[in-house]
């Protein structure tokens, strides 16, 4: 569509006057005004089009404005916009069935929320009520959302200002060989030591006081660390031995991102509770939820579940989930993510890493990849320090600006850039983005030595 800078300025003026933005110092931000989006691209009012290598916040797995999902929302809006959660409704029933058919094992009941953080809140509540225990364990390298329990479970620095309410949350180190907390030098050693560390944490916290262990199946925002073979199975076994509920957070990794419906499918592990959001309907209407095992669901057969939301199972959200899941199956979108990841993205990123002194490690699967940027490949010193801001973060800011100048919208977190395009991305689009990324990395290389 034609550029319209005046319209963009008006949007921006109202935004700056009245919109209070997430995670930001309100006086220091300069949001890009967006005019539209389609497929793998979005564009502003000034005529700049960006290839979306971020999938926004890693949620538009089906791309922007998928026509089948847009039509389903329009049809549902004409039919029934909203209804209280206590009723049975066709689209809610169907969405729950389609999700339950895809989740692993006996996770056959779905509690719907408006997003990921509420899913985590409710999963933790279920685990505490099911076990009668209070404590919850989670990983330092994690993100679980920004509501009370979810932000406390989160490991990254966004937790710090809210830590006063962290009653009952204990953090531990998950496996991450490239920056091993255990001085390991093989994946197998990392796996064994990470499991031993978790065992010891549980022993010293008191197994009888621990309700749940919450893990992202593949940690996302914290760096896309694919766990070593055997780690999640080991956590499952530890949970079983101590009567601890195993919660896998698949808010980011679920619904095709890793090249399977769920990341847990790569590891043959079934948690007791699985949280989801984002890719379930690509965020076209806010939706998240918890998939619940038969055993935990049975806890609330005769006893009321003390949790609920006005918009739990909202018809517009559920209609968009039904259309999304059906389109993903019909168009083999999960298969596309797996194929492009393995055949195009992985080899291209490994080749890029060889040529750029700033790329310390490439890791991931499907359309879920991280480049760990470093000052020096030998020392692995991160390109910017943990939680850097302002001038200290300049190398990453310069890299991100170079991406945008090249028409690529990157996902950037600390010293990493994540290659997380839509699961629908074509081979030609992926190559276009990888070329732009390759060029932009010279801005990061300038800070190595």
Query: Using the rule CB under 6 A, is 361 a contact of ligand PLP?
Result: no
Residue from 104, 116, 174, 366 that binds ligand PLP (CB under 6 A)? 116
Q: How far apart are CA 325 and CA 333, in angstroms?
A: 10
Q: Total residues contacting ligand PLP (rule CB under 6 A)?
A: 16
Residues 276-295 that bind ligand PLP (CB under 6 A): 277, 288
Q: Using an 8 Å Cβ cutoff, are 361 and 178 in contact?
A: yes
What is the C-alpha separation between 150 and 170, in angstroms, rounded? Answer: 13
Measured CA to CA in angstroms, residue 208 lies from 235, 296, 382 at distances of: 16, 18, 39
Q: Which of the residues 129 through 148 are near ligand PLP (CB under 6 A)? A: 143-145
DSSP β-bridge partners for residue 109: 292
Cα gap 13→21, rounded to integer Å: 14
Q: Output the smallest distance, CB 241 to ligand PLP, in A.
A: 26
User: Least Å distance between CB 443 and ligand PLP?
Assistant: 26
CA 41 to CA 51: how far, in whole Å?
Answer: 5
Cβ at position 370, least distance to ligand PLP in Å: 13
CB within 8 Å of 328: residues ≥ 6 apart: 61, 62, 255, 256, 334, 423
Closest CB 57 distance from ligand PLP, rounded Å: 6
Site string for ligand PLP, 39-78 (x = CB under 6 A): ------------------x---------------------
Torsion, Cα of 122, 315, 257, 212 (10° steps): 10
- Choose between 96 and 222: whose C-beta lies nearer to ligand PLP: 222
Q: Which of 35, 211, 251, 292 binds ligand PLP (CB under 6 A)?
A: 251
**β-bridge partners, 419:** 369
Q: How many CA atoms lie within 13 A of 6 on its CB side?
A: 0
Q: Out of 120, 337, 352, 396, point to the residue binding ligand PLP (CB under 6 A).
A: 120
Residue 52 has phi, psi (to 5 degrees) of -85, 95
Under the binding rule (CB under 6 A), the answer on residue 249 touching ligand PLP is yes
Shortest reach from residue 223's CB to ligand PLP, in Å = 12
Instruction: Decide: is 357 part of the binding site for ligand PLP (CB under 6 A).
Output: no
Site mask, ligand PLP, residues 396-425, x = CB under 6 A? ------------------------------
Binding residues for ligand PLP restricted to 141-180, rule: CB under 6 A: 143-145
Nearer to ligand PLP, 63 or 220 (CB): 220
| Distance between CA atoms of residues 242 and 317, nearest Å | 37
Tokens of 54: 């971020």
Tokens read off for 417 = 């850039």
206: its two tokens? 């008191």
Q: Which range in 83-91, 109-117, 162-170, 303-311 contacts ligand PLP by CB under 6 A? A: 109-117
Rounded distance, CA 133 to CA 194, Å? Answer: 24
Q: Out of 216, 265, 361, 372, which residue is the one contacting ligand PLP (CB under 6 A)?
A: 216
Q: Which residues bind ligand PLP (CB under 6 A)?
A: 57, 115-117, 120, 143-145, 216, 220-221, 249, 251-252, 277, 288
């Amino acid at each position: 569509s034609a550029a319209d800078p005046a319209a963009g300025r008006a949007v921006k003026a109202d935004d700056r006057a009245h919109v209070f933005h997430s995670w930001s110092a309100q006086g220091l931000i300069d949001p890009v005004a967006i005019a539209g989006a389609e497929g793998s691209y979005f564009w502003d009012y000034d005529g700049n089009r960006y290839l979306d290598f971020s999938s926004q916040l890693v949620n538009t797995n089906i791309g922007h404005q998928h026509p089948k999902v847009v039509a389903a929302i329009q049809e549902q809006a004409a039919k029934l916009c909203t209804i209280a959660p206590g009723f049975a409704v066709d689209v809610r029933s169907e969405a729950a069935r389609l999700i339950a058919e895809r989740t692993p094992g006996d996770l056959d009941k779905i509690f719907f929320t408006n997003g990921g953080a509420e899913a985590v809140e409710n999963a933790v509540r279920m685990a505490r009520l099911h076990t009668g225990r209070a404590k919850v364990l989670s990983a330092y390298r994690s993100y679980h959302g920004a509501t009370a329990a979810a932000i406390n479970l989160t490991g990254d620095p966004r937790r710090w200002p809210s830590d006063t309410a962290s009653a009952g949350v204990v953090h531990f180190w998950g496996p991450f060989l490239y920056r091993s907390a255990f001085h390991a030098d093989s994946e197998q050693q990392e796996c064994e030591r990470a499991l031993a560390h978790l065992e010891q944490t549980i022993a010293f916290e008191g197994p009888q006081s621990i309700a749940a262990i919450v893990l992202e199946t593949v940690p996302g925002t914290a760096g896309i660390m694919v766990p070593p073979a055997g780690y999640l199975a080991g956590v499952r076994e530890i949970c079983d031995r101590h009567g601890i509920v195993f919660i896998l957070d698949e808010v980011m990794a679920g619904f095709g991102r890793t090249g399977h419906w769920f990341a847990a499918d790569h590891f043959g592990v079934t948690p007791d509770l699985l949280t989801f959001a984002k890719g379930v309907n690509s965020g076209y209407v806010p939706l998240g939820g918890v998939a619940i095992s038969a055993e935990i669901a049975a806890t609330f057969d005769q006893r009321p579940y003390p949790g609920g939301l006005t918009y739990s199972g909202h018809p517009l959200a559920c209609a968009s989930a039904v259309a999304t899941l059906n389109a993903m199956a019909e168009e083999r979108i999960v298969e596309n993510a797996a194929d492009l990841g393995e055949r195009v993205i992985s080899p291209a990123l490994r080749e890029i890493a060889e040529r750029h002194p700033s790329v310390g490690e490439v890791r991931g699967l499907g359309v879920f990849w991280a480049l760990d940027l470093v000052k020096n490949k030998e020392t692995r010193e991160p390109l910017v320090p943990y939680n850097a801001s302002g001038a200290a973060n300049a190398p990453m800011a310069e890299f991100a600006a170079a991406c945008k100048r090249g028409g690529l919208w990157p996902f950037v977190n600390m010293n990493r850039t994540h290659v997380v395009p839509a699961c629908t991305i074509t081979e030609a689009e992926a190559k276009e983005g990888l070329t732009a990324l390759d060029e932009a990395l010279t801005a990061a290389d300038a800070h190595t030595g």
